[in-house]
């Protein structure tokens, strides 16, 4: 099984079924995976049929991923119960409930054929009300609390055969604008990041299958003028070199305003891969897939060789889907509802949504 440069590309697809044009684009480009959103989800059998169809088109075992964190960033709540928010579990402080959340998340995803969940969030909650896209999604107010809670969640989920992704390195906690709209600039020094935001990554690096790079400038650490998601300094020198992370690096969505307002699709794909990114998320512009494919095809073979080696290693970790059972889905869904009630019964406060956060729902 040959890993090719286009296998670095992970696309969103437009709807709940695979229309002929979508199939044609996928076959022509031969991507390495797909990310699904609420727009792709109508009912349990439909979702499994869609994922099976995506698998059949690909020349390798595709990464099939989703944002299933809990709370408002839970794409599968379209089908049933909404799991508790990370903040609610954090505030209750019961590790057994966090472990249940991780286990049920893994069981649910395996039913549909997902093999990678883009979580846990490892950002620290310096301010629960900050306008930085993190409301309700953070596992702790300190680096130790984040590492412990997120570690329990990811261990339980991985035990069910679903890989994990720590996000959003180097951290959105210090951002003052939402990267879905604008490119943040975070005024943190290296020593501050090492003590706080990066400490959970250092603790969990050997248990994280992937790490997602965030779209933010860190001028006190990296003078390249590039956001961390496109920067070799932040990916290779800091995450891989200084912190010793050896797994795959995933970009945050290159269709977010933080990137689209400054770089073309082809340029951002090239910079991300040359910087050390192994899986590039392009969540909403499948019609421009050929441009992305051309960008990775033109990268020097020696430059992209380490990326392809890491993708090969990731292939060997991907679990096959469980045999689909509507009855089993309903059992898991009921258990998720019970978990949420147990969390609320322990005093967890409701997490209010804000209109300004709507892109996180299905961006």
Residues serving a catalytic function are 180, 252
Q: Which residues contact 233 (CB under 8 A, 6 or more apart)?
A: 221, 222, 224, 226
Q: How far apart are CA 300 and CA 295, in angstroms?
A: 11
Helix (H) / strand (E) containing 162: none
Opening angle at CA 150, ends 363 and 229, nearest 5: 45
Radius of gyration of the chain (CA): 19
Residue listed under structure tokens 């990041």: 193
Q: How far apart are CA 10 and CA 240, in angstroms?
A: 22
Phi, psi of 62 (to 5 degrees): -80, 150
- Which of 324, 317, 313, 314 lies closest to 110, judged by CA? 324
Opening angle at CA 11, ends 9 and 16, nearest 5: 155
- Which of 276, 270, 181 lies closest to 234, judged by CA? 276
Distance between start and end Cα atoms, the chain: 33
Helix (H) / strand (E) containing 34: strand 33-36
How many other C-beta atoms lie within 10 A of the C-beta of residue 87? 23
Q: How far apart are CA 303 and CA 275, in angstroms?
A: 9
Query: Alpha carbon 7 to chain centroid distance?
Result: 17
Q: Per-residue b/e over 217-256, b at no fewer than 16 CB within 10 Å?
A: bbeebbebebbbbbbbbbbbebbbeebebebbbbbbbbbb
């Amino acid at each position: 099984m040959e890993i090719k440069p286009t296998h670095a590309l992970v696309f969103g697809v437009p709807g709940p079924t695979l229309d002929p044009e979508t199939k044609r684009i996928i076959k022509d480009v031969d991507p390495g995976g797909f990310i699904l959103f609420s727009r792709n989800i109508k009912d349990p059998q439909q979702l499994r049929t869609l994922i099976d169809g995506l698998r059949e088109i690909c020349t390798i075992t595709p990464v099939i991923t989703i944002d299933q964190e809990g709370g408002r960033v839970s794409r599968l709540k379209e089908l049933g119960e909404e799991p508790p928010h990370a903040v609610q579990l954090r505030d209750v402080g019961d590790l057994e409930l966090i472990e249940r959340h991780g286990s049920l998340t893994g069981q649910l995803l395996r039913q549909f054929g997902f093999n990678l969940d883009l979580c846990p969030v490892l950002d620290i909650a310096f301010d629960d009300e900050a306008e930085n896209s993190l409301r309700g999604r953070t596992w702790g107010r300190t680096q130790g609390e984040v590492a412990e809670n997120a570690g329990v969640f990811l261990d339980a989920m991985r035990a069910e055969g679903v890989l994990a992704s720590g996000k959003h390195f180097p951290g959105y906690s210090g951002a003052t604008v939402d990267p879905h709209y604008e490119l943040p600039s975070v005024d943190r020094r290296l020593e501050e990041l090492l003590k706080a935001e990066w400490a959970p990554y250092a603790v969990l690096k050997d248990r994280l299958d992937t790490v997602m790079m965030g779209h933010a400038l860190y001028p006190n650490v990296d003078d390249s003028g590039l956001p961390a998601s496109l920067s070799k300094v932040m990916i290779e020198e800091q995450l891989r070199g200084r912190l010793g992370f050896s797994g795959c690096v995933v970009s945050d969505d290159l269709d977010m305003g933080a990137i689209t307002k400054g770089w073309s699709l082809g340029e951002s794909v090239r910079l991300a891969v040359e910087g050390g990114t192994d899986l590039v998320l392009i969540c909403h512009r499948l019609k421009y897939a050929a441009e992305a494919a051309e960008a990775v095809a033109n990268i020097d073979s020696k430059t992209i060789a380490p990326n392809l080696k890491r993708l090969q290693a990731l292939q060997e970790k991907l679990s096959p889907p469980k045999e689909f059972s509507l009855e089993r889905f309903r059992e898991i869904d009921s258990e998720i509802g019970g978990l949420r009630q147990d969390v609320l019964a322990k005093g967890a406060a409701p997490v209010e949504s804000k209109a300004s956060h709507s892109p996180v729902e299905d961006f």
